[in-house]
Amino acid sequence: MPADWNKQGLLIPAPTPQGWARSHAALPAAETNERGDINVYFSPRDRNGRAHIALARVHTAEPDGSLVLAGHEPDPILSPGSRGAFDESGVTMSCLVHVDGSSFLYYTGWTLGVTVPFYLYAGLAIRRAGAHEFERISSAPLLERDAIDPYMTASPWVMHENGTWRMWYVSCLGWELADGQVRHRYHIRYAESDDGIAWRREGRVSINFAHECEYAISRPCVVRDDGGYRMWFSARGDRYQLGYAESPDGLTWARDDHRAGLKPSDQGWDSEMIAYPAIIDFGDKRYLLYNGNDYGRTGIGYAMTHRGN
């Protein structure tokens, strides 16, 4: 049965109130914080169109468990990299993993292109135990282009299980001309690591295209539930729609988008697309954060359900 999601509307409208954030609130990812509330990481854009990673704090309201925006951190959590670096043109949020007191922030770095519009690379910044700020592990990408992923990598979703780090990430198969425009073609692959930094990639495909008109499968969000794994993602031919898959082991996935349980609204901020889903469980509720029209220009909304649905 499809998830019984109940749409709740916008949670973080865009643009957000920081002076440097001029548009968008895209690619949300969330965690519970030490105060028992929720931190939402996301990416606004500055006046030059470069994405930064920002942090908003969210409370839950009784008795229904709805989410309430409590405030924004004034400064970016992570900003674009130095001139010439893989992330000089922007950084967009992907996921956060906590291990042994340290926080691993996985993100996508952007570089503008010439023959193609942009290049994407997976990156990593770590906040070590006792530290207050995230620091890049390197000026180089976490997943550089190689023989397995020769065009670009992006949007890593990472889990740490029984000493093994597991990643589901976006890999580009190439660029093509479509209606006179250069267009990327990417899907979701799998990798493993012993430390969350050096990754073994073998080209294993997790989510492939559903039909010939589909060309982009974006940032995955993976959750482990009783009996296996669930993945939410967005995929597009014309515009992004919500996708869904299940797996007994995180390796072999059965895609069934009908079970995603969320469609664009008839009108309003999410009437054209559903993009960049992220799941967080809090109490007896499961929340789905997502972007609507124009890749986050309208902000971040959410839907909720009871855990177990």
Q: Rounded CA gap, 218 and 215, in Å?
A: 10
**Cα–Cα distance between 122 and 40 in angstroms, integer?**
20
Q: How far is CA 96 from the centre of its chain?
A: 10
Per-residue pLDDT 10s for the chain (309 aa) are: 446 899 999 999 999 999 999 999 999 999 998 888 999 999 999 999 999 999 999 999 988 999 999 999 999 999 999 999 999 999 999 999 999 999 999 999 999 999 999 999 999 999 999 899 999 999 999 999 999 999 999 999 999 999 999 999 999 999 999 889 999 999 999 999 999 999 999 999 999 999 999 999 999 999 999 889 999 999 999 899 999 999 999 999 999 999 999 999 999 999 999 999 999 999 899 999 999 999 999 999 999 998 876
Which residues on neighbouring strands pair with residue 175, listed in sequence order? 184
- Residue 23 pairs in a beta bridge with 45
- Going along the chain from its start, the domains and CATH numbers come out as 6-306 (2.115.10.20)
Residue 194 to residue 171: CA distance in whole angstroms:
21
Sign of CA dihedral 237, 28, 296, 59: positive
Give 215's Cβ-side CA count (13 Å radius): 13
Q: What is the per-residue pLDDT for 33?
A: 85
Q: Which two tokens stand for residue 308?
A: 């177990």
Q: Two tokens at 286?
A: 């499961």
The token pair at 263 is 């469609």
Cα–Cα distance for residue pair 191/198, rounded to 1 Å = 10
8 A C-beta contact, residue 203 and residue 190 = no
Residues 30, 165: Cα–Cα separation, whole Å = 19
Sheet holding 118-127, edge to edge: 90-99, 102-112, 118-127, 135-136
Per-residue model confidence (pLDDT) at position 1: 42
Count, in order, helices (H) and strands (E) of the chain: 0, 21
Predicted model pTM: 0.96
3-state secondary structure 152-176: CEEEEEEEEECCEEEEEEEEEEEEE
Match 């976490």 to its residue by tokens: 142
- Provide the 3-class DSSP secondary structure of residue 261: coil
CA distance 286 to 299: 20
Q: Could you give the 3-state DSSP secondary structure of residue 37?
A: coil
